[in-house]
Amino acid sequence: MGVFSRLSDIINSNINAMLDKAENPEKVVRLIIQEMEDTLVEVRSAAARAIADRKELERRMAHATREADEWQRRAELAVDKGRDDLARAALSEKRQIAGTLDGLREQHKEVGIGLEKLNDDIAALQAKLADAKQRQKTLQTRHDTAAHRLRARSRIHDGRISDALGRFEHYERKLEHMEGKVEAYDLGHPRDLDREFADLETDDHVEEELAALKARMGSPRADANG
């Protein structure tokens, strides 16, 4: 398949349709990008040759134009010197060169048209290539995300993690049982004697402070008790 045939196929291709039919979209995108890059190199080479051809035609056109001008000058000189025979010969040479110059101009025009088409094709190919690379990046991102999610899900459903969590809960229950035993020892035991007497002394102090407060405030009940 020639470069321009491949170029036409690529430009007219529907990347979405190709990916929809592919069993391995990532591989298909890589192949598409490789084909586009190879084709772009060949098309650029063709454009470079066309530019070189155009420059050569321009050089030959300039040379032919100078030759035609020179034969025109000679024809005028021959007429000025009364040599019509030489003037006719000079004009004949100029006519031949003019024909050659017309051919060169036509070739130059065709090369220019071809270059414009190549420029359009290169622009279209670059747009397709950019689209393919963007899709490759999107596919890679989706692949990476799916891979991370798959690893996370596999960890969540990993039996070893479930066993570890179960052992942790079992350990928590053992701690709660031990704490319950500590609290159970305090149930049903008589209060400490020191604590009992301290409470009695505290009650006496409170009663004394209450009586003094009532006395200061002139409470009738305090007088009655006195």
pLDDT digits (tens, 9 = 90+) for 11-20: 566 666 666 6
Task: Kindly write down the DSSP assignment for every residue of the chain, as one continuous string.
Answer: --HHHHHHHHHH--HHHHHHH-SSHHHHHHHHHHHHHHHHHHHHHHHHHHHHHHHHHHHHHHHHHHHHHHHHHHHHHHHHTT-HHHHHHHHHHHHHHHHHHHHHHHHHHHHHHHHHHHHHHHHHHHHHHHHHHHHHHHHHHHHHHHHHHHHHHHHHT-HHHHHHHHHHHHHHHHHHHHHHHHHHHHTTPPPPHHHHHHHHHHHHHHHHHHHHHHHHTT-HHHHHH-
- The residue among 94, 26, 43 whose CA lies nearest residue 65 is 94
Q: How confident is the model at residue 74 (pLDDT cuts 50, 70, 90)?
A: very high
* Residue 45 · residue 3 · CB < 8 Å: no
pLDDT at 22: 59
pLDDT at 222: 45
* Residue 39 · residue 6 · CB < 8 Å: yes
Q: What are 161's two structure tokens? A: 């993690």
The C-alpha atoms of residue 44 and residue 55 are separated, in whole angstroms, by 17
> With 50 as the cut, is the pLDDT of residue 1 above it?
no
Task: For residues 124-145, give the mean pLDDT.
Answer: 82
Q: For 36-71, what is each residue's pLDDT tens digit?
A: 888 889 889 999 999 999 999 999 999 999 999 999
Distances (CA, A) of 37 to 7, 43, 59, 116, 127: 11, 10, 33, 20, 12
Q: What are 153's two structure tokens? A: 């899900």
pLDDT at 83: 93
> With 50 as the cut, is the pLDDT of residue 34 above it?
yes
* Residue 30 · residue 136 · CB < 8 Å: yes
Instruction: Point out the least confidently predicted range of 65-74, 137-146, 148-157.
Output: 148-157
Q: How confident is the model at residue 32 (pLDDT cuts 50, 70, 90)?
A: confident
The C-alpha atoms of residue 6 and residue 116 are separated, in whole angstroms, by 19
Distances (CA, A) of 108 to 51, 119, 138: 10, 16, 45
The CA R_g of the chain, rounded to the nearest whole Å, is: 53
Q: For 152-199, what is each residue's pLDDT tens digit?
A: 776 666 666 666 667 767 777 777 777 777 766 666 555 566 666 676
